[in-house]
Structure 1
Amino acid sequence: MKRIFRKIFKISRSIEDGIFFSEIEEILGFKPIKLANYRKAFIHRSSNKLDEKGNAISYERLEFLGDAMLSSVIAAHLFNKVPAGDEGYLTKMRSKIVSREHLNELGRDLNLIRFIESKVPATHFGENIHGNIFEALVGAIYLDQGYAYCEKFIQKRVITPYVDIAKLEGKVISYKSLLIEWCQKEKKQFHYDVFEDNGIRGERLYGVKLSIDDKVIAKSRATSKKKAEEIASKRAYFAFQDKIDNK
C-alpha cells in the first residue's frame, strides 16, 4: 500500500512539475535548467521549509539577489541610453524604474502569485508580495542561467515595455518626498498630523491632516500611515502644482 501511495505521489509531483515547467518557460522565454531554483522563488517563509543543511527556505534570499540584478542591468541601460545624465539624474531614473509600485505592477501582470507556496491565504498578503516574487524570479534566472539570460529577461519584461525616458522624467515616485523637498526649498513649515480613524465597518484606518504654514491643505484616510500620508501629499501637490512644477 505504501509503495502504491509513493508511486501515486511521484506521478502527481511529476505532473505538477511539468505544468510548473511549462508555465515558467512561457514567462521566461527559454527553458529553465534547474527547476528547483524557480520553486524557491515562490516559497513563502510561512511554509517553514528547510534545506538539507537545516537552513530556512523562502523567496527572500532570491529577492535580494534579484534586486541587485535589476539595479545592475537598469543602471547599465541608463548609462548607455542617457550619455548626458549625471549621477543624480541616473540614480533618480533608476529609482523610478525599480520602484516598489512598478515592481508590484510587473508581478501582477505576470500573475506570479499563482505560484506562491504558503500556509497564509493569498488574501492576507500585502501588495508588495507581487514585486517581491518578481525580484525573486530574477534572482532564480541568474542562478539558473547567469547574467546574460538575466539581462535578456529584464530587457524583455521591464525595459522594452515600460522604460520610456521622456515619460519617466515626469513621473512622480513619492508625492510626500516631492512636497517635503519643495517646502524645504521654499522655507515653508509643514506638518503631518496622523491619528487613528476607525471606519464605518470597524476596520482600522489612519487619518492624516497635512498642514503647510499652519494651514490645513489636505486630508486623507487609508489602511496605513504611509498610504494616508502619500494620499494627502498628492492632494497637496495638486493644490500647489503650478508653484512646485515651476520651482
Structure 2
Amino acid sequence: MRLIRKIFTKSRSPEDGIFFDTIEKILGFAPITLDIYRKAFTHRSSNKTDENGNSINYERLEFLGDAMLSAVIAGYLFGKAPYGDEGYLTKMRSKIVSREHLNELGKDLNLIQFIESKVPVHHFGDNIHGNVFESLVGAIYLDRGYVYCEKFIQKRVIVPYVDIARLEGKVISYKSLVIEWCQKEKRLFHYDIFDDNGIDGQRLFGVRLSIDDKVIAKARATSKKKAEEKASQRAYFAFQEKMDKK
C-alpha cells in the first residue's frame, strides 16, 4: 500500500490527491487506477464519451458490482447456512442486497459526495445511493480483483449488517406478503392508483388498497411502486396478527 501511495503521489494533482485519500479511507486499501473510481461516480447526464464515442458513466460498473455483491453474499450464505435450501438462500440474499439496504449503505458512506453530474444532486431519488454503491464494488473488482472486492464487501456489508437470525424475520416486500395472504385466504384485493400533485406541485402517485371491496390503506409516493409498497405496509400492520399466522 505504501508503494502504491508513493508512486501515485509523484504525479497526482491536489484534486486527485484528495480523491485518492478519501477513497482509500472508504475502501480500507489503496486504489491503483483512480480513473476507474471516477467513472464509478460519473452520472450519464455528464455526457462524457471515450475516444470511440462510448458513453462514460457508472452504469456498466453498477451491473458488474451487482453481480459481485450477489456472488460474495451467496458464497457467505452457502457456508453460514448449511441447512438452507436453494429457495431459502435466494430469499436471504435478496434481503441483504435489497435496493433499500443498498441505498442505506450508499448513504452511510456518503458516496453521493463524489457524483459528477449536470443534474443537481437533490433531484436524484434515493436509488442513486445504492446505484453508486454497486458501481463502487464493480470498480474495486476491476481495479484490485476478486479478493479485494470480497474484502470490501465483508467489511462494509457482511460484518456490520448481516445477522442471519434477524434477516430471517425481515420483510423485503409488503406487497408480496399482502398478495400472498389474500390469495391464500381467497380475499379480493385491488390497488387503485391515481396521480396526486400534492401541495407543493411535485408529481406524486396515490394508492388506495382495497381488500374485499373495503379500503384498508392509502399512501402517496414519488413512484407507483413505492406508493403500492407503502400502502401494503400499512395494510400489513392492520392485519398483522392474521397474516403472521398464515
TM-score by length of 2: 0.93
The residue identity in structure 1 corresponding to 2:199 is I
The residue identity in structure 2 corresponding to 1:74 is I
In structure 2, the residue matched to 1:146 is 145
Structure 1 gap ranges (5+): 1-12
The residue identity in structure 1 corresponding to 2:67 is A
The residue identity in structure 1 corresponding to 2:13 is S
Once the two structures are overlaid, the 10-residue window that deviates more, 198-207 or 21-30, is: 198-207
Deviation string 1:137-168 (CA, Å, 9 cap, x unpaired) is: 00000001100100000000000000000111
Deviation string 1:72-101 (CA, Å, 9 cap, x unpaired) is: 000000000000001111000000000000
Deviation string 1:171-204 (CA, Å, 9 cap, x unpaired) is: 1111111111111122211000111223223332
2:79 paired with 1:80: yes
The residue identity in structure 2 corresponding to 1:45 is R
The residue identity in structure 2 corresponding to 1:17 is D
Distance in 2 (CA, whole Å) between partners of 1:91 and 1:241 is: 25
Shift of 1:219: 1.3
2:179 paired with 1:185: no
Structure 2 gap ranges (5+): 1-11
Shift of 1:135: 0.4
In structure 2, the residue matched to 1:5 is none
In structure 2, the residue matched to 1:28 is 27
Q: How does 1:49-128 map to 2 (within 5 A)?
A: 49-128=48-127
In structure 2, the residue matched to 1:7 is none
SS in 1 for 2:53: coil
Deviation string 1:3-50 (CA, Å, 9 cap, x unpaired) is: xxxxxxxxxx71100000000000001111111111110011111111
Shift of 1:107: 0.4
The residue identity in structure 2 corresponding to 1:44 is H
Once the two structures are overlaid, the 10-residue window that deviates more, 142-151 or 49-58, is: 49-58
The residue identity in structure 1 corresponding to 2:241 is D
Shift of 1:245: 0.8
Identity of aligned residues (%): 81
Shift of 1:103: 0.3
The residue identity in structure 2 corresponding to 1:117 is E
In structure 2, the residue matched to 1:226 is 225
Distance in 1 (CA, whole Å) between partners of 2:114 and 2:196 is: 36
SS in 1 for 2:13: helix
The residue identity in structure 2 corresponding to 1:67 is D
In structure 2, the residue matched to 1:168 is 167
TM-score by length of 1: 0.93
Shift of 1:218: 1.0
2:43 paired with 1:44: yes
The residue identity in structure 2 corresponding to 1:52 is E
Structure 1 runs, 4 residues or longer, greater than 6 Å off: none
